[in-house]
Amino acid sequence: MFYSYLSTMMEYWGISVTWALIEIVGLFSALFLWFAVYASNKTVGNYSFGQMIFYYAFIPLVGSLTEVYIISSLPKMIKDGRISTDLLKPYKISVCFFIRTISLKVAQQVLKLPFFLIMLAGIFLYFGLIINLSNVILCLLFCPFALFFNYLVDLCLSYTAFWIDDVWALKHLKIVLLLVFGGMAFPVDLVPMGLKSIFLFLPFKFVYYVPISIVQGISLDALFSNLVQIICWIAIFGVMAKLLWRAGIKKYDAYGN
């Protein structure tokens, strides 16, 4: 299954390359905004201009390791009745889609990583930024937890297709949550103190903000705390996914077959 999915992803390599270029263009659009902000400010929150550039430079790279897209396909398979054939096969659909997700990540690293690394090298050389290799390794060790957490969130949202005719709204709601609460649009610790505790409690920070913070350098205590938190959230969403699947299968009527 992994080889089959990977072959498909590599066959349509143009899509991944195009999205890599789109993400890089989006990154530079954000950087131009921060150029204007820092023209009249030496710091924003706890971030110097260099630290802010550092943060945004890693967004597409971290995203290529932690983003999940099954909500774009699994709900449609449920509504169309196409999961019926999968139910007859000797594997779980959740495992099938996780293997598909991993194959997509491998393909993305092969096709998109060179573009991201060239971009990253250019930004770091231009602004004179320094990166700690040990922090990068810690980030790479944390990212699989973030990927699995994000996968379970997508799985739970996808399973609502057993009851909801169209999960389009939930798909875009998740995008908004990641933009605002996940650290994709801005670092989470820039929010006012009254809201910061809410932002840091919610689990969406693990997709972008926490991995990038690890690269920038956090204490071992903070790293351990985030690791314990994400394991707890993985357990919560894992149980939710299993309950939603069991309830959904009882309701499933294989429409379209």
Q: Dump the DSSP string for the chain.
A: -HHHHHHHHHHTHHHHHHHHHHHHHHHHHHHHHHHHHHTS-SEETTEEHHHHHHHHHTHHHHHHHH---GGGTHHHHHHHTTHHHHHTSSS-HHHHHHHHHHHHHHHHHHHTHHHHHHHHHHHHHHHT----HHHHHHHHHHHHHHHHHHHHHHHHHHHGGGT-S--HHHHHHHHHHHHHTSSSSS-GGGS-HHHHHHHHHSGGGGTTHHHHHHHH---HHHHHHHHHHHHHHHHHHHHHHHHHHHHHHHH---TT-
Lowest mean per-residue pLDDT among 66-75, 132-141, 224-233, 247-256: 247-256
pLDDT value at 205 more than 80: yes
pLDDT at residue 11 in the model: 74
What is the overall mean pLDDT for the chain? Answer: 87
Residue 148 confidence (pLDDT) above 90: yes
Question: Each residue of 153-187: pLDDT tens digit?
Answer: 999 999 999 998 888 888 889 989 998 999 988 89
Specify the pLDDT at position 254. 64
Segments making up each domain of the chain, as ranges: 2-251
Least confident of 1-15, 103-117, 178-192: 1-15
| Residue 257 confidence class, pLDDT cut points 50, 70, 90 | very low
pLDDT tier at 195 (50, 70, 90 boundaries)? confident
